[in-house]
Structures are given as C-alpha cells and as structure tokens.
Amino acid sequence: MGAKEIIESGKAYLGIEFGSTRIKAVVCDEAGEVLAMGGFGWENSLHDGIWTYSEKEIFAGLKACYSDMAKDVSDKYGIVIKKFAGIGISAMMHGYLAFNKDGKLLVPFRTWRNTITGEAAEKLTKEFNYNIPQRWSIAHLYQAMLNKEEHVKDIDFFTTLAGFVHWKLTGEKVLGVGDASGMFPIDTKAGNYDAGMIAKFDALAKETALAKGLGDLLPKVLAAGEKAGVLTAEGAALLDESGNLEAGIPLCPPEGDAGTGMVATNSVKIRTGNISAGTSVFAMVVLEKDLSKVYPEIDLVTTPDGALVGMVHCNNCTSEINNWVKIFKEFCDLYGIEPDMNDLFTKLYSVSISGEANCGGVLLYNYLSGEPVTGFEKGALVLARSAEDHFTLANLMRSNLYSAMATLKIGLDLMLKEEGVKVDEMYGHGGYFKTRGVGTRIAAAAINAPVSVMETASEGGAWGIALLAAFMDQSQGKTLSEYLADVIFRNAKCEKVAPETEDVEGFDEYIEKYKKGLAIERSAVEVL
C-alpha cells in the first residue's frame, strides 16, 4: 500500500508530543516511515512566580497541531483523516497537575522548569535514600503540603502533562512507566511505584491535609505494548475540531519526552544510551544494575518498558557556541561578506578538530543559567587562559564544543568511572551533532565509548511516541528493543564514531583543569 492508502484505510499511527516550545505531530506507517507531520509553537508563561501553560493553551495547542498535520495530509494526498491504527501522547516530563474529585484543575500547571521545591526534594531524598530532583511531581506535591497550600485537602488525582491529555482523550488515568518514573520512584522488578517509599510518604503525610493515600492519587502504571484505552467521542472532539476523526481508536500508554527520545534513537536496550544536545543537554544510560549509592547529579528513571536508566541533565549546551558564531558573522559583516549561516556553523565546528586535544589550555564556561550538576544556581560566561596557553581559532572552537559537554561529562563520569557502568554505544541527537564527524567525535571522547547519529535522529519524540503506538499494535511477542532493532531500525543508516585515544586523554586533561577552574566561574557569578 502507498502512503495515501495507508492513511485513508486507518492503518497509520499518530504520535503527538508537547515540547517546551513546540507541539509536534508525526504520522507513520508500521515500518516507522514518516508520512505526514504538523506542529504548533507555544511558550510557557510566568504567572505569580510559576512557569506554566494554561489548560486552555494546552487544548488549543493540541487542536492546532492536529489541524496542521491534517492539512499536511490533505495537501500531500488529497484525503481526510478518519481513523488511525493507534495514537500516542507524549510530553515534557515531571511537573504538577492536581485535580479534585470533579476533575477540576486545582492550581495552574507547575512545569518541570520551576525550582520552588528545594525543601521537599531534599527531605524526600533523605527519607527515601533515593535522588528526588526538584522537578519531580512528588517534590511538587510534598512542597505544596509543607507550604500548607489550601488546595491540598481537595486533591483526588495528580499527573503529568502527557497523563492529563491522555486522560481527557480516553477517560483513563494511566501513565507509561517511563513518565511515571519522573513522578515517583519505580520498583523496576515489580514494574510499579516503589511500595516501600509510598508507605514512607504516607507516614510523612499523616500530619498534613492530604485526604487520600499516595497510591490512590497516582495514575496507574503501564508498560510499552499495553493498551491504555480508546479515543472517546469527547476526546475525538478535543483532538480534531473538524469532526472527521472517529472515536474508538486505541491509545498506547502516554510517555515522557525522555522515553520517546530513547525510542527514537533505538537506545532502550541495556548498555545503550543517548545524548540529546541542543539548548540544554542530557544523557541517559540503560543500567544493568542499581547504583551503589545516591548521587544528586544522577536521576534514576526508566525506559518505556521499565528498565532502569541513569540520567544526567544539564541546563546549558549550545547557546554559547551560537553566540560565538554570531561574533564571527559580525566580523564577516565588516568586510561586506554575507556568509551562509549553516556553512559558517559547519566551518567553525570543523576547524575545532584541528585544535589540540586539550584545547591548548583554553577554558570556556558556557553557563548562561545555573547548573545544578556543578552546584551553580546562577551562571556567567567565562573565557579563561594564561599567557602560555595556545589561543587559536581551532582551540577556541574546540573549547566551545568541549564546554558544551563538560558538565555532562562530570555527571556521566560518576556512572562510567566511579560506578563502572558499561556502555556499548551511545546515540546522539540534536543540533550539536549536525556537523558530520565533529559532535560525534567529541562526545565519543567525553564518554570513551562509540557515538552514533542516525539519519532519523531529527524526527524526535513525536515520532518516538508514534512508534510506541505501532509497537502496541504490532509487537507480536517481541520485546520493545527487539521490535525497534528488527522492524524500525533494521536498515537504518548512521554515522558511527569510535573514541580516539588522543581525544579521550585530551578531554580528561581539559576536564581536570575545568573542575579546578570552577572557582573562576564562581567568582564571575559573584562579581557579574
């Protein structure tokens, strides 16, 4: 069947992901081939000190994104969409959406970006002996309890953004295990929330206004491949304002953007991982066993099929590289040259490879904002070198590219060096890897493991959740990793770069100097 026939007969799969700046829709066939796309731009707002998106914005954005995708289908194939073989909803993880027994949102959505739960996160980490970051849903709930917020007594249910949208489309209060692992710790053997930690939380909650036990407030946990309800008539109307979409379409468990990123990069198998590098950067490694102790720098979450994942998340990555490229663009302007910006990025990325493996001693700190992994609540931009260091264009650009990975490397080294975690291969995606042979080489040096970038890496999380919808329908007894390897990525083309000894040793030398130089960064933050 051709693409038109696949969509017209209802045998395609739809994935929708709510990112922080864009809602994206992808339609694919059972082999993962993208047939149509749509999108809608949106931005969070700061209201009363809280970063949020309103309920109205969420569903207006959902409709607009779906409508844009439907237009793409109409323009390409001249048909109207009436049904799909499966639908999946994904969104940025964590945050806090709390509802009363009537389904009313009690307080505005508190997104992952808010850093207002420090007291709760610290107390829960100590109580559970398990790292609870500020952005996790349970930290938001407990902070509201500690603050004695009026709405706490009325909470009947709380969930993530993906769980909320899925609930409104299907009536089911469920969550994929990967997204659930960013709400509350998961017992990976049981495939459910950790019962011991729930008991500890309920003990803490005894003297508060919370009316129900935590187990009754959380969404039900489902693994990849399970059915998570069907699209209701009300849900179809929320999704498709044209009224053409039929009810009864099955939905897969809603997932978080970390999980869909793992699916989209074929990194759900043990001893694989992925690095997502753009404005911010995070890396995820699927673990063979538990870590020996709690690390504040490492989040423990799961794959969409429930395997334990170590995650390091950093706030700063490519923004300062972009600023340096703009400086060189201004230099070109002085000579009346108008360079193609893509070409300028490529040239400046590429020249870094001719720099010295340790950047000639040139240090750069790219902290536009704070960086929790290294203990910074605020950031400053710093270029530091001694008179003896080799300040060349190649070393400057190499230091830029190293700095984008430096804080991530500090966190990953805790897993890879202190804990002895093994990684057979990492998959990269994001703007950092756009210039062939550069980002992959430096990332491989940072982690001392091969790094690959697939041609499909740019499809992103909306494609990942569409694949999870297809897996629900087409798994036929395969595990998720088997399905991805045998069906979706069987003939995938990729650029694979193994670490070079000189690069690994040079980056290690750079990072030791970088860690000592954090004192310079701290002074800059205080002075500037």
In 3D space, the residue among 17, 147, 143 whose CA is nearest the CA of residue 463 turns out to be 17
- pLDDT of 457 reads 64
Same domain, 98 and 85: no
pLDDT tens, position by position, 92-144: 999 999 999 999 999 999 999 888 999 999 999 999 999 999 999 999 999 99
Strand partners, 452: 427, 496
Same domain, 145 and 23: no
Same domain, 240 and 208: no
- Positive or negative: CA dihedral 515, 521, 351, 386: negative
Same domain, 8 and 61: yes
Question: 14 pLDDT exceeds 80?
Answer: yes
Same domain, 346 and 424: no
In a domain, 224, yes or no: no
Same domain, 277 and 324: no
Percent of the chain with pLDDT over 90: 91
What does the CA dihedral 500, 504, 505, 510 come to, rounded to 10 degrees?
Answer: 140
Q: What is the mean pLDDT of residues 338-357?
A: 97
Q: What is the mean pLDDT of residues 1-10?
A: 96
The reported pTM is 0.89
Please report which confidence band the pLDDT of residue 280 belongs to, taking 50, 70 and 90 as the band edges: confident
Q: Strand pairing of 50-52 and 45-47?
A: antiparallel
In a domain, 179, yes or no: no
Question: 456 pLDDT exceeds 80?
Answer: no
Question: 458 pLDDT exceeds 70?
Answer: no
- pLDDT of 21 reads 87
In a domain, 31, yes or no: yes
Rounded distance between C-alpha atoms, residue 24 and residue 34, angstroms: 13
In a domain, 126, yes or no: yes
Task: Establish how many alpha carbons lie within 13 A of residue 116's alpha carbon, considering only the half-sphere containing its beta carbon.
Answer: 20
Span of 246-255, 295-304, 405-414, 491-500 with lowest mean pLDDT:
491-500
What CATH code is carried by the domain that includes residue 146? 3.30.420.40
Higher pLDDT among residues 406 and 434, named by residue? 406
Question: 459 pLDDT exceeds 80?
Answer: no
Q: How many domains does the chain have?
A: 4
Same domain, 109 and 208: yes
- pLDDT of 207 reads 86
Please report which confidence band the pLDDT of residue 425 belongs to, taking 50, 70 and 90 as the band edges: confident
Same domain, 394 and 339: yes
pLDDT tens, position by position, 70-86: 999 999 999 999 999 99
Please report which confidence band the pLDDT of residue 20 belongs to, taking 50, 70 and 90 as the band edges: confident
Please report which confidence band the pLDDT of residue 431 belongs to, taking 50, 70 and 90 as the band edges: confident
Q: Under 8 Å CB-to-CB from 54, ≥6 apart: which residues?
A: 45, 108, 109
pLDDT tens, position by position, 204-236: 999 899 999 999 999 999 999 999 999 999 999
Asked if 81 and 243 touch (Cβ cutoff 8 Å), the reply is no
Q: What is the mean pLDDT of residues 242-268?
A: 95
Q: What is the mean pLDDT of residues 512-528?
A: 97
The three-state secondary structure class of 454 is strand
Average model confidence (pLDDT) for the chain?
95
Rounded distance between C-alpha atoms, residue 163 and residue 325, angstroms: 40
Rounded distance between C-alpha atoms, residue 18 and residue 257, angstroms: 8
Percent of the chain with pLDDT over 70: 100
Higher pLDDT among residues 455 and 275, named by residue? 275
Rounded distance between C-alpha atoms, residue 227 and residue 8, angstroms: 23
The two tokens of residue 131 are 């790292």
Q: What is the mean pLDDT of residues 325-351?
A: 96
Same domain, 122 and 196: yes
- pLDDT of 270 reads 95
Tell me which residue range forms the domain holding 213: 94-159+184-217
